[in-house]
Amino acid sequence: MQEPELIAALKAGHESAFRMLVEQHQDRVYTIALVIVRHPEEAEDIAQEVFIEVYQTVHQFREEAKLTTWLYRITTTKALAHHRKRKAQKRFAVLTSLFGLNNEVLHHPPDFHHPGVSLEQKEEMSTLFKAVDRLADSQKVAFVLHYIEEQSHREIAEVMQVSVSAVESLLHRAKQNLRKQLGPYYKERNNP
């Protein structure tokens, strides 16, 4: 089914069209969410929320961009909002423990393990994704969409609602920041 037909079927409320949309895009939606939030269970929840929102609001889709662009925009927005909320909760927990309101100590989040990464690459990928997690949100989204989801600069610009030159700038800054963060790690690995 071509995209215009799929959109028409979605807007008409055909369950089979929605099932097709989910089957075609669930892995990519999950991967984008996973890279941003770094917790598989949370990424699954976000992916479900994305498809629920699409189902509930598809009649509002104006078809000014591709359906995948709209889907990725919803995904990145939800994942970033979730990530920001969790960071705020962590900061609050740290402040709470500093002031002695409870004795819980905030632990570091679990290591990130993407399902497509082999055992020998897990340490390196974990280090990379921790560095990606420290990027500014806009750099993180551009980096994930370009290097993991293999989106073009134009597609990323549509998802992020910025210019192509802004995407290029974000990717350039993301690479510079990652080089700074990962330089010592790779230097140590290559010179034991």
Question: Which tens digit of pLDDT belongs to each residue from 51-100?
Answer: 999 999 999 998 888 899 999 999 999 998 887 777 655 544 443 343 34
What is the distance between the alpha carbons of residues 66 and 59, in angstroms, rounded to a whole number? 15
Domain boundary pick from 75, 110, 145: 110
Domain of 192 in residue numbering reads as 112-192
Domain boundary pick from 65, 86, 110: 110
Contact yes or no for 33/75 (Cβ under 8 A): yes
Domain co-membership, 17 together with 82: yes
**Total domain count, the chain:** 2
Domain co-membership, 74 together with 92: yes
Please state the φ and ψ torsions of residue 112, each to the nearest 5 degrees: -85, 130
Domain co-membership, 59 together with 13: yes
Contact yes or no for 63/19 (Cβ under 8 A): no
Contact yes or no for 28/36 (Cβ under 8 A): no
Domain co-membership, 70 together with 154: no
Does residue 183 or residue 59 have the better pLDDT? 59
Domain co-membership, 17 together with 49: yes
Domain co-membership, 18 together with 49: yes
Task: For 105-145, write each residue's pLDDT tens digit.
Answer: 333 334 444 555 555 566 777 777 788 888 898 998 898 88
Contact yes or no for 67/7 (Cβ under 8 A): yes
Q: What is the mean pLDDT of the chain?
A: 80
Band of pLDDT at residue 104, cut at 50, 70 and 90: very low
Domain co-membership, 104 together with 132: no
Task: For 131-140, write each residue's pLDDT tens digit.
Answer: 888 889 899 8
What is the distance between the alpha carbons of residues 63 and 10, in angstroms, rounded to a whole number? 12
Q: How many CB atoms lie within 10 A of CB 191?
A: 6
